[in-house]
């Protein structure tokens, strides 16, 4: 299995993702939110690029939807929830459709619609993702959402962890960037000692959201694989 990695939403290339198993990662925090919401019973998550599209889609049936997401890491005016995974509790999301727009995560997902299989990954479901990749038996591209089109250390080490899991269980052929992600993970298996230097980690910290950080850095606490199909994310 060939494994490649794209370092930010701005670097997504249709040629690279077409027909592949693609895993979109925005561990701080969009893909952790999506995974948590679905694990807590949300029927589906529908990602949108813009706030306007999300409001337009939900306007005729507003009560049936939970609107969630962020701009500049804070809740969007008129939305129900922010981009904190800890807000997506069963009591609020069970049996609900979550409409979501975030700065980088939902953009990265929408950019990979030509993948054969589009999986939504985070640290919290890394092992489940690795297992599904092996079952799918196709070449893989990890797409890091990054931050505002820039490389992001958190998504990179998260991909590195998944690549390490794949290497332990399958024959892998890594590009240099995929090898480097794995190498970074191997030198920082606790992950926090690396992520603590990331720009976005420190933005979330400065907003007093340390609990989000602690949660998103947990490994393998959820055994589900969200996947995107026909505009919706389901499990």
Binding residues (CB under 6 A) for ligand MLT: these are 26, 28-30, 70, 73, 83, 102-105, 145, 204
Smallest distance from the beta carbon of 11 to ligand MLT, in angstroms? Answer: 15
Smallest distance from the beta carbon of 7 to ligand MLT, in angstroms? Answer: 15
In this complex, which beta carbon is closest to ligand MLT, that of residue 166 or of residue 209? Answer: 209
- Which candidate, 224, 30, 217, places its Cα nearest to that of 127? 224
Smallest distance from the beta carbon of 195 to ligand MLT, in angstroms? Answer: 13
Smallest distance from the beta carbon of 183 to ligand MLT, in angstroms? Answer: 25
In this complex, which beta carbon is closest to ligand MLT, that of residue 73 or of residue 120? Answer: 73
Distances (CA, A) of 82 to 16, 87, 100, 102, 166: 32, 8, 10, 10, 33
Enter the DSSP assignment of 171.
Answer: -
The two structure tokens encoding residue 168: 């332990």
In this complex, which beta carbon is closest to ligand MLT, that of residue 39 or of residue 83? Answer: 83
Give burial (CB, 10 Å; 0-12/13-18/19+) of 91: exposed
Helix (H, G, I), strand (E, B) or coil at 174: strand
In this complex, which beta carbon is closest to ligand MLT, that of residue 46 or of residue 204? Answer: 204
Q: Which residue is listed with tokens 């929408």? A: 110
Smallest distance from the beta carbon of 10 to ligand MLT, in angstroms? Answer: 12
Distances (CA, A) of 196 to 38, 183, 185: 28, 17, 14
Smallest distance from the beta carbon of 43 to ligand MLT, in angstroms? Answer: 21
Cα(36)–Cα(40) distance, rounded to whole angstroms?
Answer: 6
> What is the layout of strands, in order, in the sheet containing 227-229?
65-69, 97-101, 44-47, 232-234, 227-229, 117-121, 21-25, 140-144, 2-6, 173-174
In this complex, which beta carbon is closest to ligand MLT, that of residue 26 or of residue 80? Answer: 26
Smallest distance from the beta carbon of 100 to ligand MLT, in angstroms? Answer: 9
In this complex, which beta carbon is closest to ligand MLT, that of residue 121 or of residue 164? Answer: 121
Q: What is the chain's alpha carbon radius of gyration, rounded to the nearest angstrom?
A: 16
Q: Which residue is listed with tokens 């930010």? A: 8
Cα(65)–Cα(141) distance, rounded to whole angstroms?
Answer: 32
In this complex, which beta carbon is closest to ligand MLT, that of residue 153 or of residue 174? Answer: 153
């Amino acid at each position: 299995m060939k494994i490649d990695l794209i370092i930010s939403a701005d670097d997504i290339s249709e040629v690279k993702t077409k027909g592949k198993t693609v895993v979109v990662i925005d561990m701080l925090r969009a893909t952790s939110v999506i995974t948590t919401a679905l694990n807590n019973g949300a029927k589906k998550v529908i990602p949108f690029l813009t706030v306007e599209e999300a409001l337009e889609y939900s306007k005729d049936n507003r009560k049936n939807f939970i609107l969630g997401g962020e701009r500049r890491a804070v809740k969007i005016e008129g939305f129900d929830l922010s981009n904190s995974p800890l807000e997506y509790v069963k009591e609020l999301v069970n049996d609900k459709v979550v409409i979501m727009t975030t700065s980088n995560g939902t953009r990265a997902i929408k950019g990979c619609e030509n993948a054969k299989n589009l999986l939504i990954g985070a640290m919290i479901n890394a092992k489940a993702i690795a297992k599904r990749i092996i079952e799918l038996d196709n070449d893989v591209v990890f797409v890091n959402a990054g931050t505002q089109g820039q490389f992001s250390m958190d998504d990179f080490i998260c991909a590195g962890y998944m690549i390490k899991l794949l290497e332990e269980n399958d024959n892998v052929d890594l590009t240099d960037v995929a090898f480097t992600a794995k190498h970074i993970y191997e030198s920082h298996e606790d992950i926090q000692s690396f992520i603590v230097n990331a720009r976005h980690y420190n933005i979330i910290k400065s907003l007093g959201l340390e609990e989000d950080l602690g949660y998103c850095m947990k490994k393998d606490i959820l055994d589900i694989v969200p996947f995107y199909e026909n505009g919706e994310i389901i499990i």
